[in-house]
Amino acid sequence: MGPSGGRKIVCARCRLPLAAVRTKLTYQGVNFEAELPTCPECGQVFVPEELALGKMHELEVTLEDK
Ligand SMILES: [Zn+2]
């Protein structure tokens, strides 16, 4: 929704600012939703370092509009 800390994340491919989109995640068989920065153009989801550096390397991201 609003700006989050003023830190803009830009899609490396499209050079567009990512927008927070409620995204369904699956982690170790558990489904949950989180708002992750998503490119409005190509749908690329940016996984924050906190998630990527944790034990979430098996994270599967499923876009809601699938
Ligand atoms: Zn993109």
With CA atoms as reference, report the closest residue to 25 among 1, 48, 5, 6. 48
Which of residues 36 and 66 earns the better pLDDT score? 36
What distance in angstroms lies between residue 39's CA and the mean position of ligand 1's atoms? Answer: 5
Residue 19 confidence (pLDDT) above 80: yes
What distance in angstroms lies between residue 45's CA and the mean position of ligand 1's atoms? Answer: 9
Q: 1 pLDDT band (50/70/90 cuts)? A: very low
What distance in angstroms lies between residue 38's CA and the mean position of ligand 1's atoms? Answer: 8
Q: Which helix (H) or strand (E) holds 31?
A: strand 30-38
The residues near 52 (Cβ < 8 Å, ≥ 6 apart) are none
Per-residue confidence (pLDDT) for residue 26, from 0 to 100: 81
Cβ contact 66:44 at 8 Å: no
